[in-house]
A and B are shown apart, each in its own frame.
Chain A
Amino acid sequence: MHRPICWLASIAIAVSIFGCAKHDSSQTTGTSGETATASAGSHKLRVALLPKIKGISYFSSCFKGAEEAAKELGIDLIYDGPTDGNPRKQAEMIEQWTIDGVDVICVAPNAPDVVASAMQEARAAGVSVITWDADGTAESRSFFVNQASAQAIGEGLVNAMLEDLGPDTEGDVVIISADATSENQNAWIETMKPALAKSKLKLATIKYPGENASNALADSQDVISKYPNLKGIFGISSVSFPGAAEAVEQSGKGGKILVNGLSTPNDMKKFVQNGTVRSFILWHTVDLGYLTIHVAKALAAGELKPGATSLKAGRLGELSIVGDNVMLGDILVFTKANIDQYDF
């Protein structure tokens, strides 16, 4: 008796589910098509900003600038990312945003190859995709918001170290990077090597602790024990830099082994004040977030086209575009003398 009713019910459910799904998908393609044409008009632009890791202070300070620009330009800003830096989760988020029909997705890819296909699919669906902070594969995005050229960062790091140690110092240096697949860090390492080769310092090894504070601390402690003639450590991620500084401080070799790297000033104040770190570098992270949103807006509004050579970005003024890289400008060197002027 109940059987036919069950069957009918399940068929009804199945039909309604399929019906809904079909209806939904047609709706989303409808909206994305609509926004692509109407984005320059009255429709409020929806921009998704994807950091490498959500919740660390570096990307939070970028977000501060992005929020500022979003307010200025009247943009609906979505900020989300994996908390553990997993590129697969990044790809999932890009896919979700594509389905949701956002207008622009700004990606800081953790592993370019892993997220590339999701980014390409997003582009095929009519979403504008740009990269910021770290570049992706060339065909997966239209523009890259470049915080500083790898050349400037790599040489900036080595020069700052040489200045602190004295240009004729001999001895070993070590680089503590992030993951072996981190695009940014690898590019910097490639430019640091020739700069180090010109000096009397020898690059003893490169460690890859990942984005893990315990591993970064452990690796730094190990290299301090392993290389007795160690003069300096480059901590070139936001996790490995404080890890290296902490290891040097705990080993009681502060001042004998110098630590240098990239970090936000707020994260490093403690170590600059106690002398473990004499100088370090970074770009203006707040401005990077700010610029990214401006690029997103210009792209969606059709003001930014391939081949452009400059872009006007709000309070940052006229910035140059090299190829498909929008350049943020000079890097900052922080020392004990100037660190208190910055708050990010």
Chain B
Amino acid sequence: MSNLLPPIGHALRPARFGVRFSKLVRQRETGLLLLIVLTCVVVGIKDIHFLSCEVWREILVRCAATAIVACGVMLVVVTGEIDISVGSLMALLAAVMGRMISEHEWDISCWIGIPATLGLGTLIGVFTGCLVSVGRVPSIIVTLGLLTALRGLTTLIMGGQNIDRLPEGLTQLAKQGLCGVPLSILAAVGVIGLTSVLIHHIPLGRRLYALGSSAESARMAGLSAVRLKLFVFGYTGFLTALATIVDVPRLPKIEAGIGSEFELLVITCVVVGGVAISGGHGRLSGVLLAVVLMTMIRPVLTFMDIGEAGEKWTRAIQGMFILLAVVTDSFFLRRQRSSGGEHTA
């Protein structure tokens, strides 16, 4: 694909391209925001409790882990790769962390156990990156393999026993938090800030986009695809570990099924958020809005009180929401095109 593009011409165009695209992509965020607000209004009319602080505090806490990992996966997708193993990685890290720092387990101090978990996550991420960049195996295949392998490893580590004695201090921080702000929210804010700086203010960010939009021209410009890919996968591994540390202690126990379908949720958020699956463009704000939208669906269904028969349709309704988000977007895209009279990409 990439060698079909004239590398030099493409490299010369980014300024005009950029302006037009940012205009277009901004529409994605408009569409998502509109959908979020509209849903809030409709559900708010049905039951005003939905708009209360305590409900939204919970929703944001649930968003945190997804947002953290989505920051990493988004960059992976921007470079033209994909990572569908984050759910299994989360389960493995939760199991390892649980075994390390829980009472009556290996009894390792939190001060060692938590950095070790972060290290392990990063290491597995870098390993994935190695297979993809050095080994030249397509990332979908590598991470598909890891999806199963890591889950299997988790089952072995758990040995059929749940872990429910994480240190009191950590669970308190995860549930009540520092000055009332749960740990996961603090971590998410930090990660979003960091990722935003990375994308907008550091050359590395621009290089990732360059690599994703045309691997060939990136190579001609002297960028190392290997190093960039090692970075994005390592970063995703690190963020998955961070999400595990701040989010899992909220749950009643650590069991082998933790994080199941999490990878699908994250990918959905990245795609609905407007990141091109072929790489090269996509914005953090779109992804974050998509995270909020996707996390909202479950509480929305509860507050709409759709009744017993309706509840059975939960999954179908979730799917329709995703379609709705994408359709709204392409609707906007078309209007933009016809009104502007210019054709893009």
Contact = CB atoms under 8 A, between A and B. Distances in A.
Interface of A: 53-57, 59-60, 63, 83-85, 180, 205-208, 211-215, 217-219, 221-223, 225-226, 228, 239, 242-243, 245-246, 250, 267, 270-271
Given A208-B312, A219-B298, A56 B62 contact: no
Interface stretch (B78-86, B153-161, B203-211, B222-230): B153-161
Given A54-B155, A225-B49, A245-B252, A211 B257 contact: yes
Contact of A218 (B62, B256, B311): B62
B19 to A, nearest CB: 40
Given A57-B160, A60-B161, A83-B257, 20 more contacts: A54-B256, A56-B162, A57-B161, A60-B159, A83-B152, A83-B256, A206-B311, A207-B302, A208-B311, A211-B257, A212-B260, A213-B252, A218-B62, A218-B298, A225-B54, A226-B49, A242-B252, A246-B252, A267-B164, A270-B252
A205 B253 contact: no
A85 B308 CA distance: 23
Interface in B127-174: 151-152, 154-155, 158-162, 164
A-B pairs, 10 with minimum CB distance: A60-B160, A55-B256, A242-B252, A246-B252, A222-B302, A180-B312, A55-B155, A222-B299, A84-B260, A213-B251
Contact of B162 (A205, A215, A225, A267): A267
B195 interface: no
Interface residues of B, number: 39
Given A56-B256, A83-B256, A207 B311 contact: yes
Contacts of B164: 267, 270
Interface of B: 47, 49, 52, 54-55, 58, 62, 151-152, 154-155, 158-162, 164, 175, 247, 250-253, 255-258, 260-261, 298-299, 302-303, 305, 307-308, 311-312, 314
Contacts of A59: 160
17 contacts: A56-B162, A56-B255, A56-B257, A60-B160, A84-B151, A84-B257, A84-B261, A213-B257, A217-B250, A217-B251, A217-B252, A222-B302, A226-B49, A239-B255, A242-B253, A243-B251, A267-B253
Nearest to A213: B251
A223 B257 contact: no
Looking at B55, B247, B250, B255, the one whose CB has the most chain A CB atoms below 10 A away is B255
B170 to A, nearest CB: 15
Contact of A212 (B154, B155, B261): B261
Contacts of A223: 302
Nearest to B161: A57
A213 B155 CA distance: 16
Given A63-B160, A83-B151, A211-B260, A226 B252 contact: no
A83 B159 CA distance: 12
Nearest to B302: A222
A239 B161 contact: no
A313 to B, nearest CB: 23
Given A212-B261, A213-B257, A246 B251 contact: yes
Given A60-B160, A208-B311, A213 B298 contact: no
Contact of B307 (A54, A85, A205, A212): A205
Nearest to B256: A55
A93 to B, nearest CB: 14
A83 B314 CA distance: 22
A223 B49 CA distance: 11
A243 B47 CA distance: 24
A221 B257 contact: no
Contact of B160 (A55, A84, A207): A55
Nearest to B58: A221
B252 A205 contact: no
A49 to B, nearest CB: 13
Contacts of A56: 160, 162, 255-257
Given A84-B151, A221-B58, A226 B303 contact: yes
Contacts of B258: 213-214
B151 A57 contact: no
A336 to B, nearest CB: 18
B248 to A, nearest CB: 9
Contacts of B47: 226
A246 B303 CA distance: 20
A214 B162 contact: no
Given A60-B161, A226-B49, A53 B307 contact: no
